[in-house]
Chain A
């Protein structure tokens, strides 16, 4: 490698994401078939989604409503007039020979989604969204191409499922930013209740358009844009883009090819090999011959409807994080962890924080003990055995000094398995408050009984004082170890004086 290459890469990565999200409707976009995942192949079909001769599509209002909600939450402009277009291409999983989609008049456009890094590695900033449109999903082809014998089977259960395509501007500058965008988008969609965003089941799919702006002595040179597909997790998106950026830089150094020199390429991410591979070029350059679908009528959306959609969005993740920070005094990181758990956990947290009056303490207990228990038991907050009131009572006892912090976990464990109130659990565990005189007496006793430790401390080995803690706990389990240690050191120092 040339010696003048600095540690910083000599290029910017430019990334735009196209995200396809299946909407959580009961029925398909243009017929009454179920959208449930996992049914036996071709059992959730009818003449409409099979594309049988003479069958006609009828728009699913529910799907359009969910689409409007999503676009509004993405700060998009909602179009007063939108229409359906046919995107035409031949593929066996596309039974009509065209996909009903939206071309030049999508129902929404020009929005943004603000991304941030909870660890603060980049500044929060809005990523512009070019358009959001609604379309029908295709079916699934299952290939069995052994020994050149292409035996393909087609499952059309998915054909016609409502799909939202969310297209960002190329505003993302790193794989981490791309991941942050997807994480925030998924969180938003989950809060809106419009999609389950399950990448394994294909309800969220991501394609990335990637190229580099290479800084050369002759100025900034853009490399050809590559569309990366087949990334089946957010981690894969991050890795795929990172790999693709390195690959493009390598190719640029070898060939010098810049944007416009070669047609746009599509590459597939190979998760196991950790590389992107060129995909077979389509037979013809993609001229989809879009035109308005004459079987469907255009949709108009009134000003009132738009207002209503915006008014009913509810509190979205970004606003919620903001409120948790200002109202409960917790950090961005903590608010992010809580909000990522979903609205129910946040509501639980808010109730605990309000009741005990200490947002930080509540946040610590949520993130450590509550979330750990949820994960270990694989349960939701709704199934969590400790009500917010009981947890708040426990935290109040800690705040009031009636429950030493170090014994909180014992109480927590007991609350998990009993119906007791926090106070009852404290009593049952025999936890009582140790007053100052009691503590002093205990410390003097310890000093008297441990001349070797006292000698060590006096010789400057302050660490030796740790031995007092174990000894103190044996005498009285309710003492605060830190207090014991500090008080012992104080007494020894005074004796010295």
Chain B
């Protein structure tokens, strides 16, 4: 009799678990969860963001010719993804958009890069942030007799970050690009072994950024490195 009661309880529990999980599984997820190729870096963006092709951004940042061998080699070492909140998602929205844009990348460093990587390098990982870097770029532009594309740099935040065994920086800055002021939020982390740099860039026009600060912070805070046990 007692055994029968135990069995009934077990059945009831099983059915309940199935019903609950079924109900739970029926809904739509609030976030999209993203992991890099190796599974070492992960974060989440709200489901309202759409995924866009991030390869043009990679090319823009490293300046490679898409047909070059360097570009192909970089493709092996660099993983990236991009999400756009805009109605019509576009990779160009990274540099100027009224809606938030998320760009994440993971670089495997080669030996040379491993040698010179530093917090300043991490700050300059996306756009020139440090004074030296900005000065150097300005000089280069002057030398070529060109107007630098990004002007009116304003540093809003600069703090070191230690997260999941990795360390890095979190910087937030403004740049003027084609008449609009864009705010960039960069979290740049070097993993514990010093082999990989993971970076997350969230960009938006300044007003938009201020309006959506909470959402942007949540995305930024979800950016994590995996830490294997042992």
Q: Do A and B come from one complex?
A: no
> Could you list which residues of chain B lie within 8 angstroms of chain A, going by C-beta atoms?
none
A residues touching B (Cβ–Cβ < 8 Å)? none
